[in-house]
Copies of this chain bind each other. A is one copy, B any other.
Amino acid sequence: MTIAKHSRFRVLDAEPYNGEAPLSLLVEHPETPADLFYVRNHAPVPEVDPEAFRLEVDGLVRRPLSLSLAKLGREFPQAEVPATLQCAGNRRDELVRVRPVPGETPWSAGAISHGRWRGVPLAAVLAAAGVYEGAAHVAFAGLDVVEKRGESFPYGGSIPLGRARATDGSPPVLLAWELNGEPLTPAHGFPLRVVVPGYIGARSVKWLASIRVQEAPSDNYYQARAYKLFPHHVGPADADWSRGLMLGELSLTSAIGRPVDGEEVPAGATTVIGYAMAGGDRTVERVELSRDGGQSWTWCEHAPAPPGAWTLWRAEIDLEPGDHELVCRAWDSAANTQPEAVAPLWNFKGYMNNAWHRVRVRAR
């Protein structure tokens, strides 16, 4: 299957297809165009016949459902939700420079993108199915088929039922068929995908085939083993998979998009731009830029953004001729800020690097 992307899109793996936009291009667009939107796949892109497609809803529900796309679009309320997706491996390349992370895609800071998604709130589908007491998780499975350790199985994952219902004013979890006003492309989950604002991208299952309401999290490999955060001192050989932190809500992060690392810029007035993103139902409250390694900070301008959505920020600074290191950090509505250094965040799967982001520039 041909995957149509921007000429400057960086393909990191051909099959399964993984790629990200160059950071400097990414931060030019508050809403990421589909051909720059990062792609993180674990299996070949499935070809789905939209006429034959049915979404199955079962498990701890009173009325199991089998929904065609037409029925989904006709019988449920629709919503358009601005949401940023971000891979748990975003900024892994900085971790790799501390110590190798074998077998994992070395994402730069471009494994994040923002879009407008249209679809049906998952809560409405769950209400129609009638969830039984005792249910606590909602598991998703895709139509893509992963080959791993001699087995074939669909990609899958789950979220807590409370998040699925989004009764707390969090942005709704969507079953989406449109990105930025256009039908999903095959690489992004055509004809239907989950979008879970504020969670790691891995839970926004593409080519959605089934929703199962259950007592426990999904036992899919990508929920039960992968996407777990282990301490610094644990390696793959001694990992007790039951003890890893099962990733869900995103942590707070930010990155400088321009200038790019290693760039030469004219001395004098310089515009610095980047993104910042909070997790869960938190919002980015402040972005700061430092030119002296964190001794002093400048307040950056950013547009307010709802939970689950990134914000692009900007600062105007004056650079004297010479070498400079620019550093950014954000603060969220729970007064969390980002950790300073990358090294103490290293973990053998290379997840959740949200250290201060640094670029070196030379002003001439």
Residues of A within 8 A of B (CB): 162, 167-170, 229, 231-233, 245, 247-252, 279-280, 282, 285-286, 288, 294-299, 329, 331, 333-341, 343-345, 351-352, 354
A231 CB to nearest B CB, Å: 6
**Cβ distance A5 to chain B, nearest Cβ, rounded Å:** 29
Rounded to whole angstroms, the CA-CA distance of A261 and B251 in the bound complex is: 31
Q: Which B residues touch A299, using CB under 8 A? A: 231, 233
Q: How far is the CA of A331 from the CA of B250 in the complex (A)?
A: 12
Lowest 5 CB-CB distances: which A-B pairs, in order? Answer: A168-B168, A249-B334, A251-B335, A162-B169, A340-B340
* B334 and A248 contact, CB distance less than 8 A: yes
- On chain B, the residues within 8 Å of A294 by CB distance are 343-344
Cα(A162)–Cα(B331), bound, Å: 22
Cα–Cα distance between A202 and B247 once the two chains are bound (Å)? 31
Contact A279–B339 (Cβ < 8 Å): no
Of A162, A232, A343, A344, most B-chain CB atoms within 10 Å: A344
Q: Which of B167, B245, B247, B338 is the one whose CB lies under 8 Å from A339?
A: B338
Distance between Cα atoms of A245 and B233 in the complex (Å): 36
Consensus secondary structure, chain A interface: loop
Given contacts A231-B299, A245-B335, A252-B336, 9 further A-B contacts (CB under 8 A): A233-B298, A245-B285, A248-B334, A249-B333, A249-B334, A279-B335, A280-B282, A280-B334, A297-B344
Report Cα–Cα, A334/B282, bound state, in Å. 11
- CB A159 to nearest CB in B, in angstroms, measures 13
Q: How far is the CA of A218 from the CA of B168 in the complex (A)?
A: 21
A249 to B340, CA, bound (A): 22
How long is the Cα–Cα vector from A169 to B299 in the complex, in angstroms?
A: 35
Report A202 CB to chain B, min CB distance, Å. 12
Task: Among B168, B282, B341, point to the contact of A340 (Cβ < 8 A).
Answer: B341
Contact assessment for A351 and B337 in the assembled complex, using a CB-CB cutoff below 8 Å: no
Q: Verify B333–A337 contact, CB threshold 8 A.
A: no
Contacts of A162 in B (CB 8 A): 168-169
In the complex, how many angstroms separate the beta carbon of A299 from the nearest chain B beta carbon?
6
Q: Are B331 and A229 touching (Cβ within 8 A)?
A: yes
Question: With A and B bound together, what is the CA distance between A286 and B345 in angstroms?
Answer: 13
14 CB < 8 A contacts A-B = A167-B168, A229-B331, A231-B299, A233-B296, A233-B297, A233-B298, A245-B333, A248-B333, A251-B335, A251-B336, A280-B282, A294-B344, A336-B354, A340-B340
